[in-house]
Amino acid sequence: PKAVMGWHIMADMKFMVMGVRSQDTALDVRELFAVPQEAIPDLLTTLVKSTPSIHEALLLTTCNRTELYVAMDDTEAALAALQ
């Protein structure tokens, strides 16, 4: 990565968002994606460490939605790991 004014520029990095929300997903399906708060750090650490193409991950959970944000360099490899 190239550092510019403290920012790291990664021009070849891709960004993906996957999620479920209450407006278009049934409750029984959303419950499958529920992650207890105390499990989030280990889940994200394992995801990043076990998937070389994923460099960063963030999980956003609210009462209405669960979203996974991923920074990666290989879309196909990241999607395969997330399935």
Active site (catalytic) residues? 63
CA distances from 31 to 35, 42, 63, 70 (A): 9, 19, 11, 21
Tokens representing residue 78 in the block: 């990241």
What is the rounded CA–CA span in Å between residue 68 and residue 61?
A: 9
Helix ranges restricted to H, 1-83: 27-32, 40-50, 75-82
